[in-house]
Structure 1
Amino acid sequence: MTPSRTKTIRLRAALVGTSLLALAACEPSGNFDLDLRSFGQGGGLDTTAAAEQAVQARPAPDARGIIAYPGYQVAVARRGDTVDSVAARIGVPVGELASHNAIAPGTLLRDGEVLALPRRVAEPSLATGARPVGAGIDVTTIASGAIDRASPAPGGTSGTGVAAGASTIGSTEPIRHRVMRGETAYSVARLYNVNVRALADWNGLGSDLAVREGQMLLIPVAATGTGATDVVTAPGQGSPTPTPPSAARPLPDEKTAAAAEPVKTPPAPDLGAQTTAATPKSRLGMPVQGKIIRTYQKKKNEGIDIAAGAGTAVAAAGDGTVAAITKDTDQVPILVVRHDGNLLTVYANIDDIAVAKGAKVKRGQSIAKVRNGDPAFLHFEVRQGFDSVDPMPYLQ
Structure 2
Amino acid sequence: MIRIEGLYKIFGDRPEAIMPMVMEGKSKEQILAETGHTLGLKDINLSIKKGEIFVIMGLSGSGKSTLIRHFNRLIDPTRGIIRVEDTDVMQLSKKELQEFRRHKMSMVFQRFGLMPHRTVIENVAYGLAVQRVDKHTRTEKARQWLETVGLSGYEQQYPSQLSGGQQQRVGLARALCTDAEILLMDEAFSALDPLIRSEMQDQLIELQQKLHKTIIFITHDLDEALRLGDRIAILKDGVLDQQGTPDEILLHPATAYVEAFVKDVNRARALTVETVMKPAPYRISAETIEEALAQMKQFKSEYGYHVTEDGYQGFVTQASLEQCRDDQGGTGKLCEEVYQELPTVAPDDILERVIPDTLESSYSLPVVDTEGNLKGELERSSVADIFSDSSDKDEPDTDEVDQKQAVDSGRK
TM-score by length of 1: 0.29
The structure with the larger Rg is 1
Q: Which structure shows the higher helix fraction? A: 2
TM-score by length of 2: 0.28
